[in-house]
Structure 1
Amino acid sequence: METKTVALVGTFDTKGEEYLYIRNLFHEVGIQTLTIHTGVFAPQFKPDVSNEEVVKEANVTIEELVEKKDRAYATEVLAKGMEKLIPKLYKDGKFDGIISFGGSGGTSLAAKAMQALPIGVPKLMVSTMAGGDISPYVGTSDIMMMPSIVDVAGLNSISMQIFKNAVFAMSGMLHFEVEERKHEKKPLIAATMFGVTTPAVNFAREYLEERGYEVLVFHATGSGGKTMEALVSSGYIDGVLDLTTTEWADELVGGVLKAGEHRLEAAGLAGIPQVVSVGALDMVNFGPIDTVPEKFKDRLLYKHNPTVTLMRTTKKENQLLGNKLAEKLNMAKGKTTLLLPLKGISGIDVDGEIFYGPEEDEQLFITLKKQVTNDKVTIIEREEAINEKAFAEFAAQELIDLLKK
């Protein structure tokens, strides 16, 4: 079996015995270590990669960090250096997986560096922060986080068991491989879905798969949109079926499922064929109904379930949404089709349903038709609701046609 190497990241200036214990555990299971020191002061043992090498990537010296005596500044510099250095070390074949141990500071130091590694590279963070909101640390990557239970400083009966589990988990990821089934590589399609656009995406996915495409479905819940954009930017995706652009409603109006200001950019800037629609732009998402901001209490609200409350977008908001989508579509450098489902943009925006709003939808459509000026973008209006099979299959075939042009 080929010997594997794990990058062991830590602040070795204040912790010595813990990391020596962890390093020895890795050696006992047949894994070599590349120790990387991310502390400010001299380490307790000689690492393979020094803190001087780390901060050099950020154009700073250790002497400057020591003299400044600013913990926040030191953390920022070390994190920046790690973000640049770690991908280089991986590209040079210096390690096969990466693991870190720390509190909020140590976790922050390693987070951006791990996020910069390709998807599929084993990444494990043992952290005191793993019990809370881990989105700042994980981002759109496949980082795994393990609660440290106790502080990672020092050895005790609890920390030693956690360290063992972490080492064994990383060992499993590095040592054990299942032979992949031989199959023809298929063009990879990214599609966006929400609960109220599920039928559309399911129809389209089945249509595409029957014709030899592999479809990855991303839920438009903020993190889903960010992840899809990241994968597209990284070159994994051949075509995008972005039927559900609802995250922009939360971004502009103030909901909880925001995907950031760069949503709907990656495919266009990369010149990747894309079919875009306006799925679920009739709604803004909040948590339980008592969490809806006071300024929205008199709006049309729908209790989707005990933890999700939806708010119908207005004509004014749809004009803003149309302008924003047009702005993003006007950036497209590749073949793009914008599909407008004239009979309803979500499962509850059709005749007889609670969010049915033909005037609001019409404002969205008018704005898009007026503001989209990019000659790379073709606008097609369809006399169906978004979840009708005919609409979904037309969208899928349109993407196939763009991919073949």
Structure 2
Amino acid sequence: MEEKRRILVIGTGDTKADELLFMRERIEAVGGIAVMMDVSVLGDPPYRPAHDRHAVARAADTSIEAIIGSGDENSAMTLMALGASRLARSLYDKGEIDGFIALGGTMGTDLALDVALTLPLGVPKFVVSTIAFSHLIPPERIATDLMMILWAGGLYGLNSTCKAVLSQACGAVVGAASAAIKPDAVRPMVGMSSLGKSCLHYMVTLKPELERRGYEVVVFHTTGMGGRALEAIAAQRGFVAVMDFSLQELANHLTGSVVNSGIDRLENAGRQAIPQIVAPGAIDMVDFPTWQAVPARFAERPYHAHNRLLASVTSDGETRRAIARAIGDKLAASKGSTAFILPVGGIQQWDQHGEPLHEPEALLAFIQEMRISVPANAELHEIAGHINDAEFSAKALEIFDRWVAEGIIPPGVPGDRKAA
């Protein structure tokens, strides 16, 4: 018989016992084992959890009494989040859980997001939340493979709507834990950013070339959460090198767009001393939802609707200069080998002559500022061509191969290098 999957169930049992006990019943009904963790502060649940609130507090190097006296509900739940995260990671490292699910409103979600970030990629993470998909949740709080579902009808007590949602969530996390294939480390992994094949397509050349060299290449679609995933894996030292060629999310963050990856975009590879080759793909575009009006400050700018969800306008020359300076500041903080490729011929498909976002003067403003913003700790490689030209990919491979020869990047693994 297949081994039953153990699911860590997190919630405040003093106020949500009915819901949590229903979740335990549903997890066990579909062949899982529910491991209950109580994160209540003021009271105990009417059941005996495997890990009670006192154990959670101890994991945060404190006590429930000290947490209650910490000042307010925010400080109390922040301490409980620390304890829950440490305890959950310890349980995973000891092989005692295969996935986790949490239940909550803003308080419970805040705590659950920390737990999810603590567990590695490949461990099923499911949060049932009254604020699922909300812009209250900043990108940097979202784990790479987090799954969320709206806790519809879940403000107070069980009902048929609430049961429908909770039962789906419980089935999903048990199923995910049963089916999950965790990432392997057979081949060294290279992270690469891009913005869809229609806008940036260097990966069509680079991916097979790197695979032939014995590397696994993971390409991230930089529409907000793609860059977040790249940053999260880099923060956990999951890459031997990063080719960060699409920085539009950074530009979006600086211009106030919601289509961004958080404040630490283009920082984690450098912080972890991971070798990185960087280029300014699509930094001239500002994204916003197609179904909203064009932001007033961009009303007169060139416009491109990608689909019914996503549209872009261009930023002006002064904004692009500011973006260049921000890129330079982030590269200056890098602790590892860094190279910057500056394609003078253009930085995304639609900025070329005859295309809707062609603005040579604004592009020149960026290029001029970028030339003086690349810091002393980074190599600057300027090419005459466009970022989608063969010249760009050749330059990226030239730098990569030199760093391998110099021992900066570990060699690839010989053998069958075909992508899975």
- TM over 0.5, yes or no? yes
User: Bigger shift: 143-152 or 247-256?
Assistant: 143-152
User: Bigger shift: 229-238 or 164-173?
Assistant: 164-173
Q: The residue matched to 2:131 in structure 1 has which SS?
A: coil
Q: Flag the 1:403–1:169 CA change in 2: closer, same or farther, 3 A.
A: same
Matches within 5 A, 1:154-173: 154-173=157-176
Is 2:200–2:387's contact at 8 Å kept on the other side of the alignment? no
Q: Measure, in 2, the Cα distance between the counterparts of 1:113 and 1:104.
A: 14
| 1:70 Cα deviation after fit | 4.6
Aligned equivalent of 2:147, options 141, 144, 149: 144
Q: Measure, in 1, the Cα distance between the counterparts of 2:71 and 2:178.
A: 42
What TM-score do you get using the length of structure 1 for normalisation? Answer: 0.87
Q: Flag the 1:172–1:353 CA change in 2: closer, same or farther, 3 A.
A: closer
Q: Measure, in 2, the Cα distance between the counterparts of 1:136 and 1:83.
A: 19
Q: Flag the 1:99–1:286 CA change in 2: closer, same or farther, 3 A.
A: closer
Unmatched tracts of structure 2, length 5 or more? 407-420
1:176-205 deviations in Å (ceiling 9; x for gaps) = 56799xx99222111111145432222222
| 1:24 Cα deviation after fit | 4.1
Counterpart check, 1:87 vs 2:110: no
1:133-181 deviations in Å (ceiling 9; x for gaps) = 585597133122234433275454454454444333333333456799x
Matches within 5 A, 1:24-63: 24-27=25-28, 31-40=32-41, 41-58=43-60, 61-63=63-65
Is 1:271–1:335's contact at 8 Å kept on the other side of the alignment? yes
User: Bigger shift: 146-155 or 196-205?
Assistant: 146-155
Paired AA for residue 143 in structure 2: T
Instruction: Name the structure 2 match of 1:386.
Output: 387
Identity %: 31
RMSD (Å) for aligned C-alpha atoms: 3.0
| 1:273 Cα deviation after fit | 2.0
1:357-391 deviations in Å (ceiling 9; x for gaps) = 3332233222222232323x211111211111232
Q: Measure, in 2, the Cα distance between the counterparts of 1:169 and 1:270.
A: 34
| 1:28 Cα deviation after fit | 5.1
Is 2:386–2:392's contact at 8 Å kept on the other side of the alignment? yes
Counterpart check, 1:334 vs 2:343: no
What TM-score do you get using the length of structure 2 for normalisation? Answer: 0.84
| 1:330 Cα deviation after fit | 1.6
Instruction: Name the structure 1 match of 2:403.
Output: 402
Counterpart check, 1:105 vs 2:107: yes
| 1:211 Cα deviation after fit | 3.4
| 1:121 Cα deviation after fit | 1.0
Paired AA for residue 228 in structure 2: K
| 1:78 Cα deviation after fit | 2.4
Matches within 5 A, 1:366-377: 366-375=368-377, 377=378
Paired AA for residue 267 in structure 2: E
Paired AA for residue 51 in structure 2: V
Instruction: Name the structure 1 match of 2:299.
Output: 297
Is 2:10–2:101's contact at 8 Å kept on the other side of the alignment? yes
Q: The residue matched to 2:15 in structure 1 has which SS?
A: coil
Paired AA for residue 328 in structure 1: K
Paired AA for residue 195 in structure 2: F
- Count residues in correspondence: 402
Is 1:239–1:403's contact at 8 Å kept on the other side of the alignment? no
Q: Flag the 1:70–1:331 CA change in 2: closer, same or farther, 3 A.
A: closer
Q: Measure, in 1, the Cα distance between the counterparts of 2:236 and 2:182.
A: 25
Q: Flag the 1:27–1:286 CA change in 2: closer, same or farther, 3 A.
A: closer
Paired AA for residue 220 in structure 1: T
Paired AA for residue 22 in structure 1: M
Instruction: Name the structure 2 match of 1:234.
Output: 236
Instruction: Name the structure 2 match of 1:354.
Output: 356
Matches within 5 A, 1:157-196: 157-176=160-179, 185-195=186-196
| 1:46 Cα deviation after fit | 1.9
Paired AA for residue 400 in structure 1: D
Q: Measure, in 1, the Cα distance between the counterparts of 2:292 and 2:28.
A: 53
Matches within 5 A, 1:195-274: 195=196, 197-274=199-276
User: Bigger shift: 42-51 or 195-204?
Assistant: 195-204
Instruction: Name the structure 1 match of 2:415.
Output: none
Q: Flag the 1:244–1:170 CA change in 2: closer, same or farther, 3 A.
A: closer
Q: The residue matched to 1:391 in structure 2 has which SS?
A: helix
Unmatched tracts of structure 1, length 5 or more? none
User: Bigger shift: 2-11 or 312-321?
Assistant: 2-11
Q: Flag the 1:170–1:311 CA change in 2: closer, same or farther, 3 A.
A: closer
User: Bigger shift: 145-154 or 275-284?
Assistant: 145-154
Q: Measure, in 2, the Cα distance between the counterparts of 1:249 and 1:305.
A: 20
| 1:110 Cα deviation after fit | 1.8
Q: Measure, in 1, the Cα distance between the counterparts of 2:180 and 2:307.
A: 41
Q: Measure, in 1, the Cα distance between the counterparts of 2:181 and 2:68.
A: 47
1:20-59 deviations in Å (ceiling 9; x for gaps) = 3433444455543321111121221222212122234445
